[in-house]
């Protein structure tokens, strides 16, 4: 039987030494959960376990992902105060449910990362106060045509677009995206944002009609020889059914069926030429070699329109287009025309066409209320009637051409309704003018022969002055421009002359001595 040696029991000294030795302290539960451990004798007493390192990596990745997700939300974009107006415009637009990055980042991971890099650069500029006061961002066609947005827009063909104008009218515009984006327009490759932009503050990615007008009217003739890119009917049709004018009800179909051109009545629908002042370039560029390329329109449009987003209105002066756009020039321009109004002709020819214009508008007479011609009220322009050439081409090449009115122009618009009436109106005006002129001559002779007190003479002279003014206005303004008004003016002239003759006759009878009994 083996013997087993037993250990001696610990002594009191051993027990005291064990009690004095430090005991190992266990980690709390939350330390173990977070992966923390103690580092005895180290400068940093707390360290990470392998689990702690893994947990830290997970937290960092989740944080980066969360921030990346938050940074693409519109709410993050408005954190820069300079973005607030653009955020509000987006918030009230038709794109308010589309995140900003869906438009401002092109589709694809590579493009998205590039967009994030640009956005980060802008954020750094904002934090370092090196940003511009007006943010500039570009939207590529690929973003607009991405899946889930407008990918089928180019296949939809013509669409109807109802525009509520500043003048309170609703205009239906016919539009087709395919030729505008798939083909060159006037030699230029357009982009979606060439038309859809934010030119007007508060309107986000909307079509501003001024952009359309610059392209459709720039560099074309307007007025008598109206030129419109695509024609009037390619953008909008005439009002359907009857409309109410000051002259009564009007139906465009009756005139369009006869082939009457739009500019026959709406020759004053375009105002401005869309020019680009050279000094406008200096608002963006400050290098002489850049300004030196001012006349290179192909290069300029490629850089500003095709490759980058620069709104047309930043360079071009506005072109207005509505029913009476150019009429504002006539309202704002004095009747007196100087050399700057009519070129070299204005140096010799002043106040041209004042009489016809005054008669047509039914103003300028004396003793008769304003009486605009019915066609003036209907906004029919002068060229509607004045289309016939007065001079042959070989003569016009030397002295210029004058366009005169003819019966054929009446028939062009109205058919047989006013057949042969132009000559009748001219004959009637001529007859009434001769009667008024004859009576005026007799009245003046009688007044000169009469010996009346000065106050009475002045009163009668005023009547004759008014008569002479009306007669002169009708004669030199060609009364046929407003037959009704001209007839009223001539009637007043005739009545004034006859009143003077009658008053002088009464004075003469009162001066005769009574007959002897």
pLDDT tens column, 18-50 = 555 555 557 788 887 877 888 877 778 888 888
Please give the Cα distance from 331 to 17 (Å, whole number).
114
The predicted pLDDT at position 336 comes to 37
206 φ, ψ (degrees, to nearest 5):
-120, 160
The predicted pLDDT at position 20 comes to 53
pLDDT at 398 over 80: yes
Q: Are 71 and 120 in contact (CB under 8 A)?
A: no
* Residue with the larger pLDDT of the pair 66 and 382: 382
Please give the Cα distance from 356 to 402 (Å, whole number).
15
SS3 of 111-144: HHHHHHHHHHHHHHHHHCCCCCCCCCCCCCHHHH
The predicted pLDDT at position 497 comes to 94
Residue 18 inside a domain? The answer is no
Residue 43 inside a domain? The answer is no
Q: Answer yes or no: do 203 and 294 share one domain.
A: yes
Residue 340, both tokens: 């700057």
Q: Answer yes or no: do 78 and 102 share one domain.
A: yes
- Indicate the pLDDT class of residue 11, thresholds 50, 70 and 90: low
The predicted pLDDT at position 339 comes to 36
Question: Using only C-alpha atoms, what is the Rg of the chain?
Answer: 43
pLDDT at 517 over 50: no
Q: Answer yes or no: do 178 and 293 share one domain.
A: yes
Residue 275, both tokens: 């020019």
Q: In the chain, how many domains are there?
A: 3
Q: Answer yes or no: do 316 and 344 share one domain.
A: no
Q: Answer yes or no: do 84 and 163 share one domain.
A: no
Q: Answer yes or no: do 239 and 210 share one domain.
A: yes
Q: Answer yes or no: do 231 and 110 share one domain.
A: no
pLDDT at 2 over 80: no
CATH number at residue 412: 1.20.140
Q: Are 88 and 202 in contact (CB under 8 A)?
A: yes
Q: Answer yes or no: do 354 and 437 share one domain.
A: yes
Last residue of a domain, one of 294, 321, 348: 321
Q: Answer yes or no: do 371 and 500 share one domain.
A: yes
First to last CA, the chain: 203
Beta-carbon neighbour count of residue 489 at 10 Å?
Answer: 31
**Average of per-residue pLDDT across 247-268:** 82
Give me the domain span that covers residue 215: 159-321
**Average of per-residue pLDDT across 320-325:** 81
Q: Answer yes or no: do 338 and 457 share one domain.
A: yes
Q: Answer yes or no: do 183 and 297 share one domain.
A: yes
The lowest-confidence range among 22-26, 382-386, 416-420 is 22-26
- Indicate the pLDDT class of residue 134, thresholds 50, 70 and 90: low
Residue 377 inside a domain? The answer is yes
Distances 109 to 84, 115, 384 between C-alpha atoms, Å = 28, 10, 61
The predicted pLDDT at position 22 comes to 52
174 φ, ψ (degrees, to nearest 5):
-90, 125
Q: Tokens 């509520």, residue?
A: 164
User: Taking Cα atoms as reference points, which of 475, 478, 471, 473 lies closest to residue 497?
Assistant: 471
Give the residues across from 270 on adjacent strands.
Answer: 321
Q: Answer yes or no: do 235 and 115 share one domain.
A: no
Residue 62 inside a domain? The answer is no
Residue 48 inside a domain? The answer is no
pLDDT tens column, 74-111 = 777 777 777 787 888 888 888 888 888 888 888 888 88
The lowest-confidence range among 94-98, 121-125, 384-388, 453-457 is 121-125
- Indicate the pLDDT class of residue 436, thresholds 50, 70 and 90: very high
Q: Are 399 and 391 in contact (CB under 8 A)?
A: yes
User: Residue 168 gets which letter from DSSP?
Assistant: S
The lowest-confidence range among 143-157, 335-349, 390-404, 484-498 is 335-349
What percentage of the chain carries pLDDT values higher than 70?
85
Q: What is the mean pLDDT of the chain?
A: 81
pLDDT at 10 over 70: no
Please give the Cα distance from 130 to 136 (Å, whole number).
14
pLDDT at 334 over 60: no
Last residue of a domain, one of 98, 120, 144: 144
Last residue of a domain, one of 297, 321, 345: 321
Residue 280 inside a domain? The answer is yes
Q: CA 207 from chain center: how many Å?
A: 10
User: Taking Cα atoms as reference points, which of 112, 192, 102 lies closest to residue 149?
Assistant: 102
Q: Tokens 């026959």, residue?
A: 264
User: Taking Cα atoms as reference points, which of 174, 177, 176 lies closest to residue 238?
Assistant: 174
Q: Are 383 and 403 in contact (CB under 8 A)?
A: yes
User: Residue 317 gets which letter from DSSP?
Assistant: P
Residue 6 inside a domain? The answer is no
Prediction pTM value = 0.61
pLDDT tens column, 174-222 = 888 888 888 888 888 888 888 887 655 567 787 878 888 888 988 888 7
pLDDT tens column, 263-322 = 878 877 888 888 999 988 988 888 889 889 998 989 999 998 888 888 888 889 888 888
Residue 266 inside a domain? The answer is yes
Q: Tokens 């109807």, residue?
A: 160
The predicted pLDDT at position 239 comes to 82
């Amino acid at each position: 039987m083996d013997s087993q040696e037993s250990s001696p029991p610990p002594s009191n000294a051993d027990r005291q030494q064990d009690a004095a030795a430090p005991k190992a302290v266990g980690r709390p539960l939350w330390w173990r959960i977070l992966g923390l451990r103690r580092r005895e004798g180290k400068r940093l007493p707390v360290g990470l376990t392998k689990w702690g390192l893994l947990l830290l990596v997970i937290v960092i990745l989740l944080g980066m992902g969360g921030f990346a997700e938050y940074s693409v939300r519109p709410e993050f974009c408005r954190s820069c105060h300079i973005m607030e107006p653009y955020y509000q415009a987006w918030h009230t637009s038709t794109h308010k449910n589309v995140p900003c990055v869906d438009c401002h980042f092109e589709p694809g991971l590579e493009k998205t990362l590039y967009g994030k890099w640009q956005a980060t650069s802008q954020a750094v500029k904002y934090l370092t106060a090196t940003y511009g006061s007006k943010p500039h961002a570009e939207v590529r066609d690929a973003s607009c045509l991405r899946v889930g947005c407008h990918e089928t827009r180019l296949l939809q063909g013509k669409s109807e677009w109802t525009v509520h104008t500043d003048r309170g009218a609703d205009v239906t515009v016919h539009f087709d995206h395919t030729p505008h984006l798939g083909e060159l327009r006037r030699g230029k490759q357009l982009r979606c944002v060439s038309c859809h932009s934010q030119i007007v503050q508060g309107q986000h990615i909307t079509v501003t009609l001024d952009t359309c007008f610059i392209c459709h009217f720039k560099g074309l003739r307007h007025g008598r020889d109206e030129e419109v890119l695509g024609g009037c009917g390619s953008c909008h049709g005439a009002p359907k059914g009857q409309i109410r004018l000051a002259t009564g009800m009007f139906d465009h179909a009756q005139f369009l069926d006869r082939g009457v051109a739009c500019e026959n009545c709406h020759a004053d629908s375009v105002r401005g030429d869309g020019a680009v002042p050279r000094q406008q370039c200096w608002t963006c560029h400050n290098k002489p070699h850049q300004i030196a390329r001012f006349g290179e329109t192909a290069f300029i449009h490629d850089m500003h329109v095709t490759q980058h987003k620069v709104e047309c209105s930043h360079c071009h002066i506005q072109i207005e287009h509505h029913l009476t756009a150019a009429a504002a020039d006539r309202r704002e321009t004095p009747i007196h025309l100087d050399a700057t109004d009519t070129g070299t002709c204005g140096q010799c020819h002043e106040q041209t066409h004042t009489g016809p214009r005054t008669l047509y508008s039914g103003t300028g007479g004396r003793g008769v209320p304003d009486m605009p011609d019915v066609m003036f009220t209907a906004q029919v322009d002068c060229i509607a009637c004045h289309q016939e050439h007065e001079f042959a081409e070989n003569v016009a090449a030397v002295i210029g051409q004058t366009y005169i009115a003819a019966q054929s122009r009446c028939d062009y618009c109205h058919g047989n309704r006013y057949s042969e009436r132009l000559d009748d109106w001219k004959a009637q005006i001529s007859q009434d003018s001769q009667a008024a002129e004859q009576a005026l001559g007799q009245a003046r002779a009688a007044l000169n022969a009469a010996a009346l007190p000065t106050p009475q003479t002045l009163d009668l002279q005023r009547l004759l002055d008014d008569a002479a003014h009306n007669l002169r206005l009708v004669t030199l303004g060609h009364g046929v421009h407003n037959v009704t008004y001209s007839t009223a003016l001539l009637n007043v002239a005739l009545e004034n002359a006859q009143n003077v003759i009658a008053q002088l006759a009464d004075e003469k009878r009162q001066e005769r001595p009574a007959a002897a009994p």
